Structure 1
Amino acid sequence: MLQFLETIWEFFANNILTQPQYFIGLMVVIGYILLRRAWYDVLAGFIKATAGFMILQVGAGGLVGNFRPILVGLKDRFNLDAMVIDPYFGQNAVQAGLMDVFGRTFSSVMLLLLIAFIFNILLVAFKKYTKMRAIFTTGHVQLQQAATAFWLILFAFPTLNDPMILLLMGLILGLYWAVGTNLTVRITQDLTDGAGFSIAHQQMFGLALFSYLAEKMNTGKNKSKRLEDMKFPGFLQIFNENLVATTILMTFFFGIILLVLGKPYLITAGQMTESSSFFFYIMTTALRFGVYLSILQLGVRTFVTELSNSFVGISTRLLPGAVPGVDCAVSYGFGSPNAVTLGFLFGALGQFLAIGALIIFKSPVLVIAGFVPVFFDNATIAVFANNKGGVRAAMLFPFIAGLVQVFGSAFIASWVGMATYGGYLGMFDWATVWPFFTVLMKYLSYGGVAIIVILMVLIPQLQYRSDKDNYFLVTEDYEQYKLNKGIQA
């Protein structure tokens, strides 16, 4: 009997647990069965989730392969560790280095995602006591964050074995999801006039911080006009297209780096031939980046929809009244379109200046801007800052965020070793909040964990105490909330 069970376990571990695409497919199957979906819906969900993750793997492999010659070139010529600050490159770095550094497989990240999500649900289930009202439902972001959190926490506790390390990770990440999405509830309701969701992404603490600062700086006689009253040249609107913006941005970055490397080096390295056009080599490299990123995002969309539905349906049934946390891009339909463009431009300016500073001061780690942080982080910050503080806030805070994204990511990625594998998540919370967590855990061990848990638990309690009468009303009856707060329609 024992031999039979061992055989079953080995089969499961070798064919499902260590194969992320099938593990995700299994989670979707379980979720849909619990929701009493028809067998053909369960089957379709399994196929889409599994195939979607495999598409993601193709895109991720293409990104790494496309960028590897540049990383190798920079390291060979200048002895630099170059990395891209981008969630997908961060996820790729974990997938590439997890086994080398820690002897773990990416399937453990899938388990962490599941455990953290369960913690998030439980915290909201007891919202009467925890004061946490929001469930993180942005599936592809959960996967990216679970991957990076797995590396950071394992770096702090390298000798801690399963299941304790997974429970520890799940508690911290689940708290971050519950507290972070909860922080954006009121400001998102104010932005959307009570649409009934919060933001669940990579800059939740940043949105809360910058919205608070924007509100404070826009009081008295120094009020700033909102961007709705300003017009920008039409050509800037091309940056709202992901593929176009990614290609332009990467052409700029790849162009500079490849010009520094020089055509002779690339020919010697076997990356191009003497007869090849250097200009078209740069263009092709940048376009491939956009193509592979699009493939990766297609894969994410394909399997995340099924993964999210299987969990969101359960949470909706079990947790009536819970607020769903959604992708930050949803906010763009409610804020000023100009805020999106302005946030991208000023965030990019902050990142470029910070990257220049790293080069000037001969940082051992060279950071290369990724499109996702420079666009989605800073555009979202600008939308919320504009709503609370007008045009000045929409320019100032994305610029500050751009600086923080580069400096914070350079510090944490080089320290924990992710820079060696070419990427780090790089978005605002992961350049500020999570480096702080990692320092506490690394140097204070379980004392650091206790500090993190206490601080996270206290945040929604302090939010509640600041406005007890309206705290839950803001989601349950926004019109009454506006009357109580004297907010004009």
Structure 2
Amino acid sequence: MEFILNLLNWFSQNILQNPAFFVGLLVLVGYLLLKKPLHDVFAGFVKATVGYLILNVGAGGLVTTFRPILAALNYKFKIGAAVIDPYFGLTAANTKIAEQFPDFVGAATTALLIGFGVNILLVALRKVTKVRTLFITGHIMVQQAATVSLIVLLLVPQLRSSFGVVAIGLICGLYWAVSSNMTVEATQRLTGGGGFAIGHQQQFAIWFVDKVAPKLGKKEENLDNLKLPTFLNIFHDTVVASATLMLIFFGLILSILGPDVMSNAEVITSGTPYNPEKQAFFMYVIQTAFTFSVYLFVLMQGVRMFVGELTNAFQGISSKLLPGSFPAVDVAASYGFGSPNAVLSGFAVGLVGQLITIVLLIVFKNPVLIITGFVPVFFDNAAIAVYADKRGGWKAAVILSFISGVLQVALGAVAVALLDLASYGGYHGNIDFEIPWLPFAYIFKYLGLAGYVLVCAFLLAIPQLQFAKAKDKEAYYRGEAQGE
């Protein structure tokens, strides 16, 4: 018995609490089950593990670069700041969990595995659960598992126990399965029967847009009839888009803070203070802003590296276990089925909505300054515009992507305050983590464990309601869009 306890303790300390090696182990096991050659199994383990270690380098760089700015903002204006972006949110959530809940450092990674298992089970029992989709977008699952872990651990104290990780995995799996299931009809309608669903950050929003867009405009009056400026095409490049956004926002913030504050060693106790003898301040501003983009790029490369292996392992297992199910994939897969102008118009209009709301937060002296991030402003609003344009034309696309931009900032500020993330510099920020996850968080806060159970029951009820509303029950399982 002592040997088994020692073995479990070793596994917990060295694997479960070390996400890089746990992810590598998942890939190794997955490839072994798929009967891949041993050299491919080893290569997959190495790439997955190293990829996660690269992610840690990027995340650490973001923290190191952002903390001096947070300290300066608090010193000069007595406010906190947070970037609404899932990569910044991932870093903030993991950092806060490590500081406040050290026993749950590996919770998100374990919850990811449990959640994926829950999703598989729900699809396997689809005649009962009415769930048809398997969420396989691995990097999104990593981000969301971290944020959900923080929400549950912080707001449901009863789950800070050995059962807590299971509870986090359960609700992650429910959300992945149910939210992606909500996008089946909308995506089938958009793609003309493309055979996939969306597993990203805006599934609830896609369902809502598909229902509301026809009431806001005519689908015949679509964005193909509008001419957009050609210069917007540069924002198709992630590096250019993120570096430009970081330069605008952090450049403005650093310029307002000024060289005196940023060179004050008593204020900038973390990181390296600005040295006016070595560098002009405007060059320091540009370098700092671009450094954010560098670490964000490093983080994203690490994510792509290990997720590529993780997704292959998941897909192989799911295709053997769940034939006929719908894969829930990255929302970018939908872009090729809409108007070419929808992606850029959604990005532009959503950004305008965000900027206006940020100005209002400053005018009304909100204690948290929200800084826009690339992923929500691009992917959320682009997706909303694509689906809205297909159903309600350019009017629906403009109205709904603008509203999304407003909600991302306004509700992001509420979420940062609720989760006390201002000192950690980030929040998830995508539209689904404003609605429904922000209301879920408040339910957890005020109802505790009962609230957790209530949210789980709510998620389970959604596909039952979808099925009940379907006129053709067999067509529901085939994913056929019924009615307009």
Question: Is the shorter-chain TM-score for this pair beyond 0.5, marking a shared fold?
Answer: yes
Q: Which structure 1 segments of 5+ residues have no match?
A: none
Q: State which drifts further: 375-384 or 11-20.
A: 11-20
Distance 2:103 2:419 in 1: 16
Distance 2:203 2:219 in 1: 25
> Which residue number corresponds to residue 269 of structure 2?
none
1:473 lines up with 2:475 in the alignment: yes
Distance 2:120 2:286 in 1: 46
Distance 2:293 2:147 in 1: 23
Structure 1 291/161 Cα, relative in aligned 2: closer, same or farther at 3 Å? Answer: closer
SS at match of 1:211: helix
> Which residue number corresponds to residue 268 of structure 2?
none
1:409 lines up with 2:408 in the alignment: no
Distance 2:278 2:107 in 1: 47
The structure 1 residue matched to 2:262, chosen from 256, 263, 266, is: 266
1:380 lines up with 2:383 in the alignment: yes
Does the Cα contact within 8 Å between 2:274 and 2:284 map onto a contact in 1? no
Q: Which structure 2 segments of 5+ residues have no match?
A: 266-272
1:340 lines up with 2:343 in the alignment: yes
Distance 2:474 2:298 in 1: 41
- Letter in structure 2 aligned against 1:431: E
> Which residue number corresponds to residue 6 of structure 1?
5
Does the Cα contact within 8 Å between 2:133 and 2:325 map onto a contact in 1? yes
> Which residue number corresponds to residue 81 of structure 2?
82
Taking only aligned residues, the RMSD between alpha carbons, in angstroms, comes to: 1.8
Distance 1:248 1:103 in 2: 36
**Distance apart, 1:357 and its partner CA:** 1.3
> Which residue number corresponds to residue 198 of structure 2?
199
SS at match of 1:320: coil
Does the Cα contact within 8 Å between 1:75 and 1:81 map onto a contact in 2? yes
**Distance apart, 1:267 and its partner CA:** 2.7
SS at match of 1:135: strand
Q: How does 1:300-379 map to 2 (within 5 A)?
A: 300-379=303-382
Distance 2:104 2:37 in 1: 33
- Letter in structure 1 aligned against 2:55: L
After superposition, the C-alpha distances for 1:334-358 in whole angstroms (9 at most, x for unaligned) are 2222111111111111111111111
**Distance apart, 1:320 and its partner CA:** 0.8
TM-score (norm 2): 0.94
SS at match of 1:367: strand
1:257 lines up with 2:256 in the alignment: no
Does the Cα contact within 8 Å between 2:93 and 2:150 map onto a contact in 1? yes
Distance 1:217 1:28 in 2: 46
Does the Cα contact within 8 Å between 2:130 and 2:464 map onto a contact in 1? yes
- Letter in structure 1 aligned against 2:294: V
**Distance apart, 1:157 and its partner CA:** 1.8
> Which residue number corresponds to residue 168 of structure 1?
167
Q: How does 1:90-169 map to 2 (within 5 A)?
A: 90-169=89-168
SS at match of 1:325: strand
> Which residue number corresponds to residue 38 of structure 1?
37
Q: How does 1:18-37 map to 2 (within 5 A)?
A: 18-37=17-36
Question: Alignment identity in percent?
Answer: 46
1:295 lines up with 2:298 in the alignment: yes
**Distance apart, 1:223 and its partner CA:** 5.6
Distance 1:102 1:186 in 2: 40
**Distance apart, 1:474 and its partner CA:** 6.2
**Distance apart, 1:67 and its partner CA:** 1.9
- Letter in structure 2 aligned against 1:300: V
**Distance apart, 1:397 and its partner CA:** 0.8
Task: Give the aligned length.
Answer: 477
**Distance apart, 1:472 and its partner CA:** 4.9
1:282 lines up with 2:285 in the alignment: yes
- Letter in structure 1 aligned against 2:222: R
> Which residue number corresponds to residue 451 of structure 1?
454
Distance 1:39 1:460 in 2: 41
